[in-house]
Structure 1
Amino acid sequence: MKDMFRGTLLKVLLLLILLLPLGAFLHYNLPGYDVVRITSTDIRRVDRDGNAANNEVPGATRDVYVIFAEDPESGAARVYYNEDTGWGFPWYFKFDSANVHQRAGAIAREPDNRALVTHYGWRIPMLSWFPNAVSVQRVEPGYTPIPWFNIVFFALLAGVIGWIWWSVARWRRRRAASL
């Protein structure tokens, strides 16, 4: 009985060791949706490490669009970087950061400046990490986003995992029957 408990505990721990990094990876890279009030926008010059730049070396700095917002209910501050992803990972194929920045600035100047910000990434103040805004859309007060992409993605992922589980179980039954 004690050995069976240890075996089960070991399997659960191994499963957690595998699933936690996968969950963190998906949480970081899949789109998140925030309904916020956009307060202002800015353009910052940063160096390659993302720090404020005073570097005079050509090509060592870049401009980053920044969107400042707050949660409509709690008033908590939200800051988003707005950078192109280009052809790189994660594959958002975003090439219009200037357009997103202009749209955010236009929404900030309106009396009812609520917007849906689609983003990926995490805000980690100690590391100066900001989520990257993929799109900004004007929304009405009380709007609640439905994450259709995430729903479809996780349904497909569950289907693939279920198919693999079923295939392995079928293979094990065939193997056991042939022995």
Structure 2
Amino acid sequence: MRYAGLVLKGLFVLLVFLFLDYTLPSRETVRITNTYNRLTDLGANRMFYADTGTGAVENAAGQRDIRFIDTVKPNGRPRVYRNEDTGWIWPPYFKYDSSNLQAVATDLQSTAGDPRWVSVTSYGWRVAWMTIYPNAVAITPVAGPDSDPLNWAALLILALLGLLLLLFWRMWAQFRQRTLGPAWDRVDARADAARERMAERRRGLRGWLDRRRR
């Protein structure tokens, strides 16, 4: 049971980490090389794309017209983003300006010979074999490839989550001390009394049996 509990705790921590890693915003310095729309087939990876409640439209074949932004990192590795609205649906980025963001990305395109570096704020993962792309949320020009803007949004969210966790822990500790502790003491006292009564009955029974044998 001890090992099962440790495994469950480990799985819970892993799920929380994956949830935060996917949902929290990240920032990367890249160079935009292309912007375009593409009909994309959605299947098992549908959960990693915008919900239809945000206004996303699919054709009869289950394809969706999605905006994409191709970029290149300073080390030369490609990084592809999708550009979809999130609306009021999770994650709560309340993004309704994907058209404007696409226009900004198109305007900031550059070549390797004359690069223009930008910081792209996004959430999500890039998993090539599942055709999953991070969703771009904002694009900000930066001075150069070595620029590394502080991801203050993620830090603020983590700080708030840590504060809430600490508050919950304090409330739980007080609840245990004021409510569960006394209740458990009463249960323990009743159990001790019951064990004592059983012991007295056993002693009485043994005494009666001893007298009968005589």
Confirm or deny a common fold (TM above 0.5). Answer: yes
Query: SS at 2:175's partner residue?
Result: helix
Change (3 A) 1:14 1:62: closer
Give the structure 1 partner of residue 142 of structure 2: 139
Structure 1, unpaired ranges of 5+: 1-5, 52-56
Whether 2:134 is the aligned partner of 1:115: answer no
Structure 2, unpaired ranges of 5+: 47-58, 186-214
Give the structure 1 partner of residue 106 of structure 2: 105
Alignment TM-score, normalising by the size of structure 1: 0.82
Give the structure 1 partner of residue 88 of structure 2: 87
Query: SS at 2:30's partner residue?
Result: strand
Query: SS at 1:166's partner residue?
Result: helix
For residue 65 of structure 1, what is the amino acid of its counterpart? R
Q: Distance in 1 between matches of 2:126 and 2:176?
A: 45
Change (3 A) 1:164 1:68: same
For residue 72 of structure 2, what is the amino acid of its counterpart? E
Paired residues for 1:24-173 under 5 Å: 24-49=18-43, 60-72=62-74, 74-109=75-110, 111-141=114-144, 142-173=146-177
Larger Rg: 2
Contact 2:122 2:138 in 1 (8 A): yes
Q: Distance in 1 between matches of 2:129 and 2:99?
A: 27
CA RMSD, aligned part only? 2.4
For residue 101 of structure 2, what is the amino acid of its counterpart? V
Contact 2:33 2:109 in 1 (8 A): yes
Q: Distance in 1 between matches of 2:42 and 2:140?
A: 29
Whether 2:177 is the aligned partner of 1:176: answer no
The structure where strand makes up a greater share of residues is 1
Count of residues paired in the alignment: 167
Contact 2:101 2:139 in 1 (8 A): yes
Displacement after TM superposition at 1:123 (Å) = 0.6
Change (3 A) 1:121 1:17: same
Query: SS at 1:68's partner residue?
Result: strand
Q: Distance in 2 between matches of 1:62 and 1:79?
A: 17
**Percent pairwise identity:** 34
Q: Distance in 2 between matches of 1:121 and 1:62?
A: 19
Displacement after TM superposition at 1:46 (Å) = 2.5
Change (3 A) 1:59 1:92: farther
For residue 12 of structure 2, what is the amino acid of its counterpart? L
Q: Deviations over 1:102-125 (max 9, x none)?
A: 111111147332111111111111
